[in-house]
Structure formats: C-alpha cells, structure tokens
Structure 1
Amino acid sequence: MVEGDKEHKANKDAGRRATLVLVSKYPTPGSSKTRLIPALGEALAAQLAMAMLQDLLQRFSIEDPAGEFRKVFVYAPPSAGPSVNKMLKDLGLDKTWDAEPVSSGTPLRESGLTTILEAALASARSRERDGAVIFVGMDTPELPWSEVVAARSSAEKDGKAYICPVA
C-alpha cells in the first residue's frame, strides 16, 4: 500500500469518506441541451443529455467498485424525483447513488448555481463531516476518473479546491 493510499484509508476509517456530487437537470425534451435543439431537435437533444448523464452515473460506479466515495446525484427540478429514482433503479444504481433534489425547489436554470452547490456541500458535510467533496457536472462525459481521485487527494492533503484542467 502506497503512502497516499494509507492516508486515504485512515480518512475513510475516521468517517471522512469523500463525496462525489453529480449536478444535473433531469433530461427532458425542450429543456435539455437547448443550444443543440436547432440542429438535433428536442427529442434527440434530450436523448443525448440522458446518455451523457447515464454514462457518468454508470462509469463512476464502475470506477469506484469499493465504494470509497459517497455518490450523490443532485437534480432539478425536484418534481423529477420519481423519474430519477426509476432511472437509477433501472440502471441498477439505486444502491450506489443517493438522489437529492436541488434544495431551492426551483429549476437549475433559475437557481443560482452557488446556492445549489452550497446546499449540496452542507448536505455532504452533514453525512461525512470532513471528507472531501467533489462536484461534477453532467456535461463532462469524458472526465477521467483519475481527475476525481486527484481532486479528492488535493482536498484531503491541502484542504484546497482542485479544478480539472480543460484539454
């Protein structure tokens, strides 16, 4: 076991498990990937958004088979709850991901992103006390798992924010 792994294991054992928060609107025709609607149409744009979302949910579950991260899907609008829960169950991810609606009760577009992230951070802190919290948007379908791990390591080591570089 390398030194960083020992430190991470000690943090996890002390109730400091990292939390991965995926933030997204639940994809629906007419409100998803709206800039792509002129080229793709409402239905196809929503299908693309759903594919990106489901890919991240599945991939991040596979990349973390030991459950070292608590995984939270923060979605808007809150009324999408039944659809979100069905999607997670259909994907076999309902035991892997916790689904939480945006706390402000308004659509993501109308909520300040800062407010949404602050509420998600408070929720994560209420469950995992001092563990690192990593935020990811659903528009990152090619984000390597190594960047999520690097973000956790940076936060646990230095207590600082980590921003994934854009290629």
Structure 2
Amino acid sequence: MSTVAVAIICKTPAPGKSKTRLSPPLRPDECAEISACFISDLSATIAELAAEGDAEGYAVYTPAGSEGALTRLLPPDFGLVLQGEGDLGRRLDQGIADLLARGHAGAILVNSDSPTLPKALLRDAVEALQSGDRVVLSPALDGGYTFIGLSRPHPELFADMPWSTPEVYRLTLDRAREIGLPVVELTPWYDVDDAASYALLEQELDGMPLSFAPTGLARQPAARTAAFVRRRRAAASALPAQAGAA
C-alpha cells in the first residue's frame, strides 16, 4: 500500500521565538510551553492516523540543531525533515518535494497551531491524495489554510503569495484553477495564534460547539494543551486569594 506523508511544519519551541502573537495574553515562556503542547498533541493525532497503515508521520522543522529538543515532543517513529531556506512559500514547496522524494504517494503539511484538528479531516485528506494528482485543503478561519496536501509538487501554489493575509486561501484556489489542478476542499478548522483564537480554544476545550464544524465531527482531545489551559486558569484564579492573604 502506498503511504501518504503527514507532517507538522513547525519551529522547535523556544521562549521569545515561539507563538509570539499569543503574548499577550500569554507570557513568552508560556508561548513556548503551549507551542510544545500543540506539537505534541498534533503529532499524537498523526501517529493515530499512521497506525491505520497508509500514512507516516513527520516534522518538517527548523532550526537545524534543535532535533534533540523536538524529538522529545514527538512519537518515536516520527521522521524529521529540515525546512529549506526562503519565505514560507519556498519552505512549503520544498517540504512537499522532500516528502514526496521519500517515495510517498502524497504529502500533507499541517500547521502547528491547531491542536484539536480532527483526525477525520486528515483521514479524508490521505484518501483523497491516493486518487491522483490534486490539491487537498482545509481552509482556516483567518483566510489561510490549516493544511495542504499534494500528490505531486506544484510550486505555482506557493510562489508570490501574500502570506499571513486573508487572501491566501482564495488565491491558492485561483492558482489551482489556473494550472488545471483539481481541488478537494475539506471542513475548515482554526489556528491558535492570537488572543481571540486562544479564547476560542478555551471555549472549545470547555465543550462549546464550534459554529463552523459539522455536527458529529469529533475534535481531538489535545490532552497536553488542555492540561496547559487548566494549569494556567488555576494559577490565575489563585492570584486574588494570594493577594488578599497578603
């Protein structure tokens, strides 16, 4: 059976260099901690998917030399692929090419900001890529995409793209149409990369339904992320009592 590579594209967490848009409300050390939680939870989801036999898990990572710290967050059978140079588009294109060069039938790059991303969406993406040349996308609420999957390299999808703007997803669809590449659009998900999306994460972990998610689509439990949120809330709730005691 041909396998599909499913990879988190990530930066090894470090205070002051990870998830900086989450500060505030988080401190720099908390940003690095939650980044580690996200990577750990996402890789656990991918490992569950890989256990079904037709996918393999990877981290497409930066910086070089951080492998020891990163592997402590990943399942033992995860592969490591160092990110290439250049802007995000060049690194995404190179990541796809590097994974396909390992003999996989397709390659999916997942952002590292979506710890509750349902395994069912990745399952649908894997199956779509085993059916021929196409691009598989899960749109993100901010106008980008949560993941992109290809069965062949298509550099046109990544070149001269206004990254970190709400136009990325629309322009990616336009590029695919221009080159005649079939598109499989899956359910949207969200990235946790600012105060508003962190609040949405808290609400989701509290059991609030997500308006964009179909009924019955099971999110992943994101155990490490959920534990981080609980610890942070507990510490915050203890502050007034400590102040009063003083």
- Pick the TM interval, shorter chain: 0.7 to 0.9
- The corresponding residue for 1:34 is 20
Alignment counterpart, residue 43 of structure 1, candidates 29, 34, 56: 29
TM-score with structure 1 setting the length: 0.76
Alignment counterpart, residue 62 of structure 2, candidates 76, 91, 115: 76
CA distance in 1, matches of 2:136, 2:97: 18
Deviations 1:51-107 (A, max 9, x none): 11111112221233244212110111113122123443xxxx22x210122122xxx
Alignment counterpart, residue 94 of structure 2, candidates 110, 116, 119: 119
TM-score with structure 2 setting the length: 0.53
- The corresponding residue for 1:108 is none
What's the Cα RMSD here? 1.7
Aligned in 2, Cα 1:63/1:121: closer, same or farther, shift over 3 Å?
closer
- The corresponding residue for 1:6 is none
What number of residue pairs does the alignment pair up? 141
Between 139-148 and 65-74, the greater mean CA deviation after superposition: 65-74
Unaligned runs of 5+ in 1: 1-11, 105-110
CA distance in 2, matches of 1:148, 1:29: 30
The one-letter code of the counterpart of 1:121 is I
Q: Rg bigger for which structure? A: 2
Aligned in 2, Cα 1:67/1:28: closer, same or farther, shift over 3 Å?
farther
User: Secondary structure in 1 aligned to 2:22?
Assistant: helix
Residues 73 and 99, structure 1, Cα contact 8 Å, conserved in 2:
yes
- The corresponding residue for 1:155 is 129
Unaligned runs of 5+ in 2: 139-186, 189-211, 213-246
- The corresponding residue for 2:84 is 103
By percentage of residues, which structure has more helix? 1
